[in-house]
Chain A
């Protein structure tokens, strides 16, 4: 089974979230880039399938030259090959339309049975690139997959919906977008890290197209106002119960 995993590096906002003065991006100084959470699960899933059934895992990423590091992380986990679509121009010029069309174009030149995406990116959160690529390539796609099984040459997937899970059956080649939580991504082995370091990452330069979605500005959502410390330890419980009683939450 040949699988291409499309992944994105995103700014690690665990430490700090600060909007740049131009209002168009977050301040990245001093912060790391990490593999998008959903994509990390997609890489893990692809490697597990390779380990179970044989085949090859290729990772494809669009981003600045620094994104080769994220591709190397996936190779260190166990992916075989990496291809970077080096994004020309300002990073903010790359919206979902440009990204999807560059990825679809690159995928036309690759051999695959399955293409995996993470459900959505942790930054732009557009939730449309995987679907747009599937549409551009005319491939069947299931969005939000949390479980993949192989049965008699068919792929049976479960996807998360509000009420539970929907089951679909499809045949390769196909596109699946996968969700965080479906597996626990492994840490790269030392050997994997060494291998990834030496790996040649092919690079193709790509240019953005016009995006219909225009960003005016980023801003922080209004925060909750702070409240009242009722006290320390068990001693504060009577006061809490009183407050909850006033709110009609306890008798």
Chain B
């Protein structure tokens, strides 16, 4: 079987798990193996319609009130136990904080290989060919795993989540042989990030600034431009290191990756370490003083000029157009 770990947050299945189900379904069809979704936690039946919608053939529920709050070792035990009992050929999870952690623990306990952050996968002559994002995504590595099960985490947004209804979902329940020690580490609290506007990950428009912005103050205009689009502000590593913006706004190799409809790169040279974080944007607009900046070779539209003049003027024009 192809076993897909399904992550639940705030009562809903996360997108990364739906992406994993979609790719798992493709793998199941190519290999003739059944697609099985694994849910761990409490009150799991509410998620069954979503699993049907995404074409799972079977759902394994490891349900216990003790698993109502996330416990890394407890969930790892449930996952490892399921793998031992069912002997899947492949185990998939989205490369979220939870997915990475659980598959990392499972790989150690089962003494099996784990390919993290996969961006592509295909079945060739009965074996999986995988592509991993390494060096923070600036390099791809073609890799293979020996032995079974093959454990993989999938980079979020690398695969589309596409529904395909299967209304004959079988349901199976498994016990988790939990001991007290497995539940010693339990999440106490989830503190959700309170944001002024939209999050960087979800923003349809991102206005990012780099060295050329020059100061914390300089980002004010970028914020204004972002707000006109209902978008979010991002920054390069240099801008973060200079203390102009908070670390969570870093876009690139060691930061977040975004895929907005529109990306403004202001005073950003366009180093590969930054570009890896924004290359999936639909349209990139670069504003930079240096006509030789590499960003102009990667952006859809470039304006050669001082962002401190161009951005305020652009704001004025946009306001005028809005009326």
Contact = CB atoms under 8 A, between A and B. Distances in A.
B205 interface: yes
B261 A249 contact: yes
Interface in A175-201: 180-182, 184
Nearest to B322: A251
Task: Name the residue in A125, A136, A223 with the highest tally of chain B Cβ atoms < 10 Å from its Cβ.
Answer: A125
A42 to B, nearest CB: 14
Contacts of B227: none
Interface string A224-251: 1011111111101110110110010111
Given A158-B191, A166-B190, A181-B248, A214 B108 contact: no
B188 A162 contact: no
A166 B187 contact: yes
Given A214-B144, A247-B283, A249-B262, A237 B116 contact: no
A159 B144 CA distance: 31
Interface stretch (B22-30, B52-60, B128-136): B128-136
Interface string B6-35: 000110001000000000000000000000
Contact of A132 (B107, B138, B321): B107
Contacts of A182: 247
Contacts, number: 245
B192 A163 contact: yes
A213 B145 contact: yes
Contact of B97 (A38, A135, A144): A144
B314 A251 contact: no
Contacts of A212: 112-113, 145-147
B115 A233 contact: no
Interface in B113-145: 113-117, 129, 132-145
Given A181-B250, A240-B285, A168 B187 contact: yes
B254 A219 contact: no
Nearest to A156: B188
Contacts of A234: 305, 309-310, 313
The main secondary structure of chain A at its interface with chain B is mixed
Interface string B240-270: 1001000110100110000001100000000
B193 A136 contact: no
A17 B138 contact: yes
B109 interface: yes
A29 B154 CA distance: 33
A128 B300 CA distance: 37
Given A167-B188, A213-B145, A240-B303, A218 B134 contact: yes
Interface string B195-211: 00000010001000000
A122 interface: yes
A127 B191 CA distance: 24
The main secondary structure of chain B at its interface with chain A is mixed
Nearest to B195: A164
Contacts of A214: 143-146
Given A122-B135, A159-B97, A163-B190, A135 B108 contact: yes
A128 B104 contact: yes
A67 interface: no
Contact of B302 (A124, A128, A219, A228): A228
A61 to B, nearest CB: 19
A217 B142 contact: yes
Contacts of A93: none
B306 interface: yes
Contacts of B70: 166
B284 A224 contact: yes
Task: Name the residue in B98, B299, B302 with the highest tally of chain A Cβ atoms < 10 Å from its Cβ.
Answer: B302
Contact of B310 (A13, A131, A233): A233
Given A131-B104, A143-B104, A144-B97, A166 B189 contact: yes
B165 interface: no
Interface of B: 9-10, 14, 70, 72-73, 96-98, 100-101, 104-105, 107-109, 112-117, 129, 132-147, 184-193, 201, 205, 229, 240, 243, 247-248, 250, 253-254, 261-262, 271-273, 275-276, 279, 282-285, 291, 296-306, 309-310, 313-314, 317-318, 321-322
Given A96-B114, A127-B117, A162-B96, 10 more contacts: A13-B135, A17-B272, A180-B247, A214-B144, A223-B275, A228-B302, A232-B304, A236-B304, A249-B261, A249-B283
